[in-house]
Chain A
Amino acid sequence: GEDVEQSLFLSVREGDSSVINCTYTDSSSTYLYWYKQEPGAGLQLLTYIFSNMDMKQDQRLTVLLNKKDKHLSLRIADTQTGDSAIYFCAVGLLSGSARQLTFGSGTQLTVLP
């Protein structure tokens, strides 16, 4: 089955850019999502990208997709303390349901003042 990998921790200074990386194994993955989880809360969808796209920008968020390397990244510009949270990438297949929505381990982003 699909395997999704993320680094566990990232620390950045307030105002810097954060880049959170994700790799996956199934080249059939069609929908790629980034979710944010704040302490004690559920998951909030931040953004998504389709496999036929290379890049998507949404305000401070930029998603880059390298299909050849099966690598996904989330860049947060001008990182703020409110961005401190766990970020999950999740990949899914077009023809599937949540059975085929696989989550990475999550990256704990800490923003230092």
Chain B
Amino acid sequence: SAVISQKPSRDICQRGTSLTIQCQVDSQVTMMFWYRQQPGQSLTLIATANQGSEATYESGFVIDKFPISRPNLTFSTLTVSNMSPEDSSIYLCSVEPWDREYGYTFGSGTRLTVV
């Protein structure tokens, strides 16, 4: 299965600033996904990122707040813009496997605290 490197692993940011999270995969993948895990909660899909096209956002998430780049088949970034304390969460990237019996692989996550 794919190996995902996600960084930063954690950050403490000031309200009103932006943070860009990077996700690097060791193999080419068609679809990459970004999730948010709020404290004590389950995972919520933010958006799906395909190379060469705009990301598809889920209900409740907008591009202005969470712009995503997908410049090639092994890399993606998620930016959390104009942050507020409510954005404090773990953000995870994930990739779809070639064979779904291997499950969706996740990065180790970025723990974001907004103060």
Contacts and interface: CB of A to CB of B under 8 A. Distances in A.
A24 interface: no
Contact of B101 (A44, A48, A103): A48
Interface string A77-113: 0000000000010101000011101011110000000
Contacts of B113: none
Contacts of A98: 31, 33, 45, 48, 94, 96, 104
**Chain B interface category by residue count:** 20 to 34
Interface residues of A, number: 22
Contacts, number: 53
Contacts of A99: 45, 48, 56, 58
Given A41-B109, A97-B96, A105 B104 contact: no
Given A31-B101, A42-B6, A98-B94, 17 more contacts: A35-B103, A41-B109, A42-B106, A42-B107, A42-B109, A43-B43, A43-B92, A45-B102, A48-B101, A90-B104, A98-B31, A98-B33, A98-B48, A99-B58, A101-B104, A104-B42, A105-B42
Interface of B: 1, 6, 31, 33, 41-43, 45, 48, 56, 58, 92, 94, 96, 100-109, 111
